[in-house]
Chain A
């Protein structure tokens, strides 16, 4: 039995289906989560106390980094405008697999109090695959840490990440993105790379 944040017990049975190497890799992976420092909405204000001495996410292996190329997790903190969605998609596509998305707050879940705004998205998981949704308005840092603990648990169990879903269902995500952002989602080279991986030719 392993203890993470708040003493969660992890399921042993599922872990036994992994090989020893997989198990080891996943354990290391879960213990070094790098979060890109990017806040989309008001939820970003909950992230500084989470990562600094008050709640100290580093004790669970969660650290912030400056650039998407180094990051494993992007937190969509709060409401997401269409304009910001373009940047979030670009950031997400620049991140290297394995990568995960955490939606923070009720705005990321169903639009929250901005559900009828002309420039805010309602369903985040239509545009990028979301691994973990933390509800609340605003969620406290404890809730965010709980989300991280659950995410670590899933990584350790070797569950499928959202990035695999994104690569498999790229057409679905691109269709939804184009619906709200128009035909030109630039730069397109990141998406082209995914297409190449699926067997398409440039």
Chain B
């Protein structure tokens, strides 16, 4: 596995081994296209597995991770870059990897990242969404939910569980005591036949 690391070191970029089968590569945002093309053409990373996004609200950027696989499928290379949260934009990869089209569409919908030249940046999982993208951390989900759909009130016969359970237990106890007393009484009375 270490020869993977030495091979990747030829990229003259910061490569780290996260674990046995996971490698990480940090790239500047404007180098991302050239790096991915290089990895595809020269290093045989033929599969784009996923594009992930993390919202680093405090630092003010999105961390984007491209997961690449070789044909052998023996390790994953994460190509990581960070872009500004304001007017976030990335080059589209749909011409290189067709599956990137739908992955980028998802990022566009849930984080508001723009992909210039992307053919289908339309509704994906949501319909007619006109708020902040919902997975951004500055989107106040609770406020949005309560403004749209207030919480259902209590039931008409809303009962306190503790009180009710105590009442039931006491009822059961009383019932058992009564039965025991009756049984004892029946035993005391001698039957005429014996």
Q: Do B145 and A182 touch across chains, with their CB atoms under 8 A apart?
A: no
The residue on A at minimum CB distance from B151 is A122
Q: Do A119 and B149 touch across chains, with their CB atoms under 8 A apart?
A: no
Residues of B within 8 A of A181 (CB): 127-128
Q: Which chain A residues in 104-135 approach chain B with CB under 8 Å?
A: 109-111, 115-119, 121-123, 126
Q: Quick one: CB contact mask for B136-155 with A, threshold 8 Å, 1 for yes? A: 00010110110011111000
The residue on B at minimum CB distance from A110 is B152
A15 sits at the interface (CB 8 A): no
Residues of B within 8 A of A109 (CB): 152
Q: Do B149 and A126 touch across chains, with their CB atoms under 8 A apart?
A: yes
Residues of B within 8 A of A82 (CB): 126-127
Q: Do B125 and A180 touch across chains, with their CB atoms under 8 A apart?
A: no
Residues of B within 8 A of A197 (CB): none
Q: Quick one: CB contact mask for B96-132 with A, threshold 8 Å, 1 for yes? A: 0000000000000000000000000000011110000
Known: A122-B149, A123-B149. Is A116-B126 also a contact (CB below 8 A)? no
Docked pose: A179 CA to B127 CA in angstroms: 14
Q: Do A83 and B127 touch across chains, with their CB atoms under 8 A apart?
A: yes
Q: Do A117 and B141 touch across chains, with their CB atoms under 8 A apart?
A: yes
Docked pose: A86 CA to B134 CA in angstroms: 20
Known: A83-B125, A83-B127. Is A180-B141 also a contact (CB below 8 A)? no
Distance in Å: Cβ of B141 to nearest Cβ of chain A:
5
Distance in Å: Cβ of B20 to nearest Cβ of chain A:
35
Q: Do A86 and B145 touch across chains, with their CB atoms under 8 A apart?
A: no
Q: Do B145 and A179 touch across chains, with their CB atoms under 8 A apart?
A: no
Docked pose: A116 CA to B134 CA in angstroms: 12
Determine which of B128, B145, B152 lies in contact with A118 in the assembled complex, contact meaning CB atoms within 8 Å. B145
Distance in Å: Cβ of B31 to nearest Cβ of chain A:
34
> Interface size (B, Cβ < 8 Å)?
15
Docked pose: A86 CA to B144 CA in angstroms: 19
Q: Do B134 and A118 touch across chains, with their CB atoms under 8 A apart?
A: yes
Residues of A within 8 A of B139 (CB): 118
Q: Do B151 and A118 touch across chains, with their CB atoms under 8 A apart?
A: no
Q: Do B151 and A115 touch across chains, with their CB atoms under 8 A apart?
A: yes
Known: A116-B141, A116-B142. Is A121-B127 also a contact (CB below 8 A)? no
The residue on A at minimum CB distance from B131 is A118
Known: A109-B152, A110-B151. Is A117-B125 also a contact (CB below 8 A)? no
Q: Do A118 and B141 touch across chains, with their CB atoms under 8 A apart?
A: yes
Distance in Å: Cβ of A161 to nearest Cβ of chain B:
21
Distance in Å: Cβ of B156 to nearest Cβ of chain A:
14
Distance in Å: Cβ of B56 to nearest Cβ of chain A:
21
Q: Do A182 and B128 touch across chains, with their CB atoms under 8 A apart?
A: yes
Docked pose: A119 CA to B109 CA in angstroms: 13
Known pairs A116-B142, A123-B152, A180-B148 / 10 extra A-B pairs, C-beta < 8 Å: A82-B127, A86-B127, A109-B152, A111-B149, A115-B145, A117-B141, A118-B144, A119-B134, A122-B145, A179-B148
Chain B residues with CB under 8 Å of chain A are 125-128, 134, 139, 141-142, 144-145, 148-152
The 3 closest A-B pairs by CB, nearest first: A110-B152, A118-B134, A122-B149
**Can you list 27 A-B pairs, Cβ within 8 angstroms, ordered by A?**
A82-B126, A82-B127, A83-B125, A83-B127, A86-B127, A109-B152, A111-B149, A111-B151, A115-B145, A115-B151, A117-B145, A118-B134, A118-B139, A118-B141, A118-B144, A118-B145, A119-B125, A119-B134, A122-B145, A122-B149, A123-B149, A123-B150, A126-B149, A180-B149, A181-B127, A181-B128, A182-B128
